[in-house]
Copies of this chain bind each other. A is one copy, B any other.
Amino acid sequence: MDILHRVGIKSSPAEVYKALATREGLAAWWTSNTQGQSKVGATLQFRFSAGGAEIGGFDMKVLELHPAELVLWQVVDGPAEWIDTKISFELRRSGEHTIVLFKHQGWKEPVEFMHHCSTKWAIYLMSLKSLLETGKAAANPNDTHISGDGPD
Per-residue 0/1 for A48-77: is the Cβ within 8 Å of any B Cβ (1 yes, 0 no)? 000000000000000000000000000000
Q: In the complex, what distance in Å separates the CA atom of A78 from the CA atom of B110?
A: 26
- A interface, size bucket: 35 or more
- Chain B contacts of A116 at CB under 8 A? 6
- Chain B contacts of A118 at CB under 8 A? 3-6, 118, 122
Q: In the complex, what distance in Å separates the CA atom of A129 from the CA atom of B149?
A: 13
Q: In the complex, what distance in Å separates the CA atom of A74 from the CA atom of B24?
A: 44
A2 in contact (CB, < 8 A): yes
Residue of B whose beta carbon sits closest to that of A125:
B119
> Which of A7-15, A27-35, A134-142 lies on the face that meets chain B?
A7-15
Q: Is the CB of A6 within 8 A of B147?
A: yes
A126 in contact (CB, < 8 A): yes
- Chain B contacts of A3 at CB under 8 A? 4, 118
Residue of B whose beta carbon sits closest to that of A93:
B149
| Closest chain B CB from A38 CB (angstroms) | 23
- Chain B contacts of A125 at CB under 8 A? 119
Q: A94-B149, A126-B146, A129-B146 are in contact. Are A7 and B101 (CB under 8 A)?
A: no
Interface residue from B102, B129, B144, B148 paired with A97 (Cβ < 8 Å): B148
Q: Is the CB of B122 within 8 A of A4?
A: no
Residue of B whose beta carbon sits closest to that of A144:
B126
